[in-house]
Amino acid sequence: MPASDFASRRSSREAARSAGGVAELLDLMWERTGQATAGAPASPSQLRLMYLVESEEGVRMRVVCEQLAAAPPSVSRLCDRLQAIGFLERLPCPTSGREVTLRLTAAGRTHLRHIRERRETVLRQAMDAMSDAERHALAEGLAGLHAQLVAARGDIGTSGVKREVGVPGGTSAA
């Protein structure tokens, strides 16, 4: 193996290890942020379900089960809890009487918006301490990583939501 290939693979491993560490730290921070949000707290599993429903309004519960790789009874219990706190509605499927579709309520959409605002504040505070060159390199690196992850796992996108790099707070359906 040429030395440049070895160095490139080592560099990729180090970058992946670093990204994994950042992801773990963000997971902890996001969980704390979700708990600090006004209103009823939602667990990480409930938030994942909410992101999926948000990305595809009126999604069938069967599709959510597939995307979460979870059994229908587990997803149904998540929906029960979200419905009890007023974040989710279950509606009959217009094309199949046997299926149920899911939709976020206004309170559910507001809850996600508040969580995103708090998360973006935490990130912005950290990034404000970085130099312009570091922020630019981070944005380019994240855009490349995002593109590769979506290409490799296009069926799930990124938690059901595609963030537009370079667009403050920009989102679009995955």
Instruction: Quick: pLDDT tens for 75-91.
Output: 999 999 999 999 999 99
* Highest-confidence segment of 1-10, 17-26, 84-93, 153-162: 84-93
Q: What is the 3-state secondary structure (H, E, C) of 89-146?
A: EEEECCCCCCCEEEEECHHHHHHHHHHHHHHHHHHHHHHHCCCHHHHHHHHHHHHHHH
**Using 50, 70 and 90 to split pLDDT, how confident is the model at 23?**
confident
Q: What is the pTM of this model?
A: 0.72
CB contact at 8 A, 118 and 37: yes
Domains and CATH numbers, the chain: 14-131 (1.10.10.10)
The Cα 77–Cα 64 span in angstroms is 13
The Cα 72–Cα 80 span in angstroms is 12
**Using 50, 70 and 90 to split pLDDT, how confident is the model at 167?**
very low
Burial class (CB in 10 A: 0-12, 13-18, 19+), 16: exposed
Mind listing the pLDDT tens digit for each residue in 118-133? 889 888 999 999 999 9
